[in-house]
Structure 1
Amino acid sequence: MRELSSVIKSRKKQKMEKVEKVDEVVEPIDRISDLPEPIIHSILSFLRCPRDVARVSVWSKKWRSIWTSFFILDFDQKNFGDSGGYHDKKFINAVATRLEAMDCIQKFKISLCQPNLKLRTHMNRWIGAAIKKHVQELEIHVEAKSRNHYMLPDAGLSSRKLTSLRLYGCKFNNRMEIDLCNLKELSIKCSQVNADVIHSFIQSCPLIEDLRLVHCKKIGHLNISTLHKLRCLQLYECHGLVSVNIESLSLVSFIYCGKDPWECKVKVTGCDNLKDLTLKDPDLDEELFQELFVKYPNLEKLVLRECNRLKRLTILNSKLKELSVIRCRNLVEANIDAPNLSVLEYSGGRMPLSLTHIAGLHEAKLHICYRKNGAVILHELLDLLRRFENNGDWKLVVTSNKNITIHEELQEIQHLSSNELRIELIKSPMKVKGYVDNLLRMSKPKTLSLVSSSSSELLKFLKDKIMSRENNPKCCTYYSRKCWLHSIKDVTMAVFGRAEIGTSQSLEQTIFKFDWQS
């Protein structure tokens, strides 16, 4: 009996201890403050405005002090203005104060939308200060007229720490000395830069991996053969570019976009490892294309855009995965034999595509805009669509005249109409949902129609998202830009049965009619 009594007392004591522990107040754990400082800096780097960086400091006590040591500085003159204009004094003080407080800087970005002489003088000082504080990434964006480009100071071109230099709206002193031996990324946009300046960069920056020249003037002749680590090269509508000679075994991606009536001779040799090629060249014809294409046996992505001299196209490549042919207005025939092709995009006024292999495709985008021979073009398009019927579970999204129609069964498509059609063939159900979501956000259509079975998962998704929405959706509470759900004023839904839409299967058409807020 004594032993039983002691056991009962022991159990009562244990229960009392548990009750006391439940009544204790548990202090909340601040896990955000426990994050390492580099990770916090990485999180802060995704915020565009310094004001937002300061706001998130309320998340924890540690963040209130750590944001002042944030190594990424991004200042935009537009953030210091109101209806009365821009407040240059506040802008100057904000930049100077943050720069002075920093011992070292990872990235320094400065953007001017209304540059004046005073701001340009301060810009020179800020760039010099950032270089002295061992900045690794420097980005300068100056919106100026062509005759009033910002003259980059010599200090911005001499640093052994700088790895990335992005310039917009700048010009250069022809006698400048460049010392950027560790530079890996160079981007020059909407700037005045001649061949001598580019040559100086190439000779002084042997480690460049990414080179981009966009809307630049007065380059003339461009020769690239000594950048042995160059992986990505982009030349986009550079006025005055006469010739381009490229030789680089390391080159993986090359984008060249010319423009009528400019004539430029492009010569690319020794680029056996090229995998991504984009050409917008008004002088490219069948012969020139074949000469180029056979040189790149490892090509995985090819984009041909506005190559208007191209009439016939033949592609034989076992490694090609993505192909885009955009607005090549004289193209009448395109024979494509690419067994590993997974993504296809075509835009034009004809239907010239002949595909040997379809089984490997996962996505196909077709934008047809025609002025004549509409019946023939639509018949050819339907013939192409029928080839997809027996090659996987495809979904067809058709956009025309502010109306979107989704077909879940390709066999039931009898006809297509309209002189402009945007067609998307997608296999992945998740991609269909994402694509439709993006269409609703971008185009705000009058109607969205779905031809499907009544048990369709996509139908259930659309009903739940559209018809079950709240009057004041809370999905975008913390975002200034709201999603399309917030723009709906009213929406109605109608369902038509099999007989009404003329299908042989147990399909129905569900139509959502939108009234959008103005």
Structure 2
Amino acid sequence: MDQISGLPEAILHDILARLPDRDSARTSVLSKAWRETWSTFPILSICSDQHFKSQDVTVDNYHSKIDKVVDYVGRRLLRLRDLGLAIKEFKLIMDYVDHKCMAHHVDLWMKMAIESGGEVLHLQLRLPGRYVGRHSPDRFYELPLSVIESKSLTKLVLMDGIRVGQAFLTHSIKLYSVRILKLCNIFFGHEGIIDHLISHCPLIEDLTVIDCAVYNPPIGGIPQVYEFSLVESLFLHGLHKLKKVYVQGMREVYIDAPNLESLHCCLQYLNTYFKLNLDSCTNLRWLCLWNLKNIAIGDKWFLELFSKFPFLESLELDNFSMSQRINISSAQLKVLKLSYCSNLEELNIDARNLLSFAYEGNNQPGISFQKCSNQLEVNSFSDVDFRDLCSLRKFVQNIKPQKIWASVSLFICLSILSEPEQGAFQVSSIPPTIKRLELQFSPDYEALYFPFMNYLLSSCCPNSISFSFCSYVHSKAFIEFLYETLMGRKEGKCHCSSSNTKCWWHALKIVKVICTFKIDENADFKTMLDALPTCLADEKIGFILEL
């Protein structure tokens, strides 16, 4: 008995809104009731790959495939209009099509959505080719002025293949209800349009600006040769509702928003000038800065940062130049992540409320924690190389105090494996016990299986070992090799044979296989291994180890 189909239409629409776009569209074939529900569903999400694949498009069938999309969208919109229903969301994602020939259709669709009181408009029109300089502005879809006349829009997303003309500087903007604004890889006829547009969104709470550019007239009068340059500055004033900002590609950012809580700022190119002014953003709680190599990071920088932002709880720094010795002290900090911070050799952290610390990079400094929380988790994302076998072991051993070891997790992301030097695995003490060891790769050659495993397990004693199949691209042979070694079914010479320190896996009592994909809980290991996805997926297989 199908009881779901008998639910009120509002509930069925809510169910559809929670499904992925492709799945919600498929419900129209379930029954007549679901077909009627789909025809009145006020959320239109049209993606070109639902109708055709770009690789299947030829010169002969191009127009016929586009006509099918145009016909489908037109019928859906007209149906809603004839029923007097509002179009709450209109999402159009078209990849690698001639947007110039579709412009009048897109204009009409957006006009219908806006006039019906649409709340969400998402427009993404990707052109072929990686570099924008390959296309003249005429190839981009020109955004109509009617978009900024909408008083009902609460979310506006503009991405790829869209240009905004200079007329937007003088036209009346009525985006009084917009709370979320995202501008990504779009092109402006004047650099001041971005600031002008944002300043007329008084209720904006969430802003994203990524790699937007300005196009200039043809160089030297030569037709079809245009000059593109990234929008380099962003000045935001008087936005009292603004809470979250993501900026990428800018060289100068000024934000006057007293309620700003989160800022993610990424410089497009390394070693270039960058200026950031957040003097009025005293309520900042989350800060992420990427690729700001020109800013020298030392103790003074951290002191000023925590003094200026007393409520800062989460700090992420990526690709910075640091002093060799860094001291970080904060009573409010809960999350800290440092990635690829050059020169750093010693890091001292005094943050009694810190719950999560992550370190990623090629250099592995000594790290000590003072007054640390009992709930602290430490994650290290490491690249390994047999040419420097001691680095990982030293890194783990140099994490102080020793009680932290039980919370340390290692994520081995990349390797450059070659034959290790003789004696590289000799150790004089039992390595520290860590929480987990996750491998996102495996050795390419069978001859390296045992040296690599021996290297890792002489550096640390993990309570669990897992393989992330999301990026695990090699054969399953290494996983099977490790399993058989742990279970004692494959013998091999190891460093403990000539040392007073015994390999830790000799004391293993229990090895339990775990996996994240569906499998019979009574299945043997070989069956589990065969059930691993054949394509890349976010699945894991691994081992729980008890000594």
TM-score (norm 1): 0.73
SS state of the match for residue 109, structure 1? strand
Indicate if the aligned counterparts of 2:369 and 2:401 stay in contact, CA closer than 8 A: no
Indicate if the aligned counterparts of 2:383 and 2:415 stay in contact, CA closer than 8 A: no
Indicate if the aligned counterparts of 1:106 and 1:136 stay in contact, CA closer than 8 A: yes
SS state of the match for residue 266, structure 1? strand
In structure 2, what is the equivalent of residue 305 of structure 1? 318
In structure 2, what is the equivalent of residue 44 of structure 1? 16
Residue of structure 2 aligned with 1:156, choices 126, 147, 160: 147
Change (3 A) 1:410 1:385: farther
In structure 2, what is the equivalent of residue 165 of structure 1? 156
2:186 paired with 1:191: yes
Superimposed CA distance per residue, residues 371-415 of structure 1 (whole angstroms, 9 cap, x where no aligned partner): 799366335313145745576577766667599xxx9954999xx
80-89 or 267-276: bigger deviation? 80-89
SS state of the match for residue 321, structure 2? coil
Indicate if the aligned counterparts of 1:304 and 1:326 stay in contact, CA closer than 8 A: yes
In structure 2, what is the equivalent of residue 284 of structure 1? 295
Change (3 A) 1:466 1:75: farther
TM-score (norm 2): 0.70
Q: CA deviation at 1:317?
A: 1.0
Distance between the aligned counterparts of 2:202 and 2:192, measured in 1? 16
153-162 or 278-287: bigger deviation? 278-287
Residue of structure 2 aligned with 1:207, choices 190, 203, 221: 203
2:123 paired with 1:128: no
Residue of structure 2 aligned with 1:94, choices 52, 59, 72: 72
Change (3 A) 1:38 1:301: farther
Change (3 A) 1:49 1:59: same
Indicate if the aligned counterparts of 2:311 and 2:332 stay in contact, CA closer than 8 A: yes
In structure 2, what is the equivalent of residue 71 of structure 1? 42
Indicate if the aligned counterparts of 1:362 and 1:426 stay in contact, CA closer than 8 A: no
Change (3 A) 1:312 1:389: closer
Distance between the aligned counterparts of 1:398 and 1:244, measured in 2? 35
Change (3 A) 1:331 1:171: farther
2:285 paired with 1:272: no
Q: Partner amino acid for 2:167?
A: R
Q: Partner amino acid for 2:37?
A: I
What stretches of structure 2 of length at least 5 have no aligned partner?
Answer: 214-229, 418-430, 438-450, 487-504
In structure 2, what is the equivalent of residue 182 of structure 1? 177
Q: CA deviation at 1:351?
A: 2.0
270-279 or 353-362: bigger deviation? 353-362
What stretches of structure 1 of length at least 5 have no aligned partner?
Answer: 1-27, 496-504, 508-518
Q: CA deviation at 1:343?
A: 1.4
Q: CA deviation at 1:78?
A: 2.6
Once the two structures are aligned, what percentage of the paired residues are identical? 25
Written as runs of structure 1 = structure 2, the 5 A alignment for 1:184-263 is: 184-193=179-188, 194-217=190-213, 218-236=230-248, 238=249, 241-258=250-267, 259-263=269-273
Q: CA deviation at 1:226?
A: 0.8
Indicate if the aligned counterparts of 2:350 and 2:372 stay in contact, CA closer than 8 A: no
Q: CA deviation at 1:328?
A: 1.6
Q: Partner amino acid for 2:163?
A: K
Indicate if the aligned counterparts of 1:358 and 1:388 stay in contact, CA closer than 8 A: no
Distance between the aligned counterparts of 2:455 and 2:120, measured in 1? 45
Change (3 A) 1:466 1:123: farther
Change (3 A) 1:481 1:466: farther
Indicate if the aligned counterparts of 1:349 and 1:368 stay in contact, CA closer than 8 A: yes
2:7 paired with 1:35: yes
Q: CA deviation at 1:235?
A: 0.6
Indicate if the aligned counterparts of 2:341 and 2:361 stay in contact, CA closer than 8 A: yes
Distance between the aligned counterparts of 1:426 and 1:207, measured in 2? 53
Written as runs of structure 1 = structure 2, the 5 A alignment for 1:14-29 is: 28=1
| Corresponding residue pairs, total | 444
Q: CA deviation at 1:356?
A: 2.0
Superimposed CA distance per residue, residues 72-118 of structure 1 (whole angstroms, 9 cap, x where no aligned partner): 11112233225244411101111111111112111111112123321
SS state of the match for residue 125, structure 1? helix
Change (3 A) 1:31 1:384: farther
Distance between the aligned counterparts of 2:454 and 2:194, measured in 1? 47
In structure 2, what is the equivalent of residue 511 of structure 1? none
SS state of the match for residue 208, structure 1? coil
Written as runs of structure 1 = structure 2, the 5 A alignment for 1:78-477 is: 78-82=49-53, 83-85=56-58, 86=62, 87-102=65-80, 103-113=85-95, 114-144=97-127, 145-146=132-133, 147=136, 148-169=139-160, 170-176=162-168, 177=171, 178-193=173-188, 194-217=190-213, 218-236=230-248, 238=249, 241-258=250-267, 259-280=269-290, 281-286=292-297, 287-308=300-321, 311-352=324-365, 353-369=367-383, 374=388, 377-384=391-398, 387-389=401-403, 392=406, 401=415, 409-410=433-434, 436=466, 439-444=468-473, 446=476, 447-448=478-479, 449=482, 453-455=508-510, 464=522, 467=525, 469=527
Distance between the aligned counterparts of 2:231 and 2:469, measured in 1? 43
Change (3 A) 1:275 1:104: same
Structure ID, larger Rg: 1
Alpha-carbon RMSD across the aligned residues, in angstroms, is: 4.2
Change (3 A) 1:379 1:116: closer
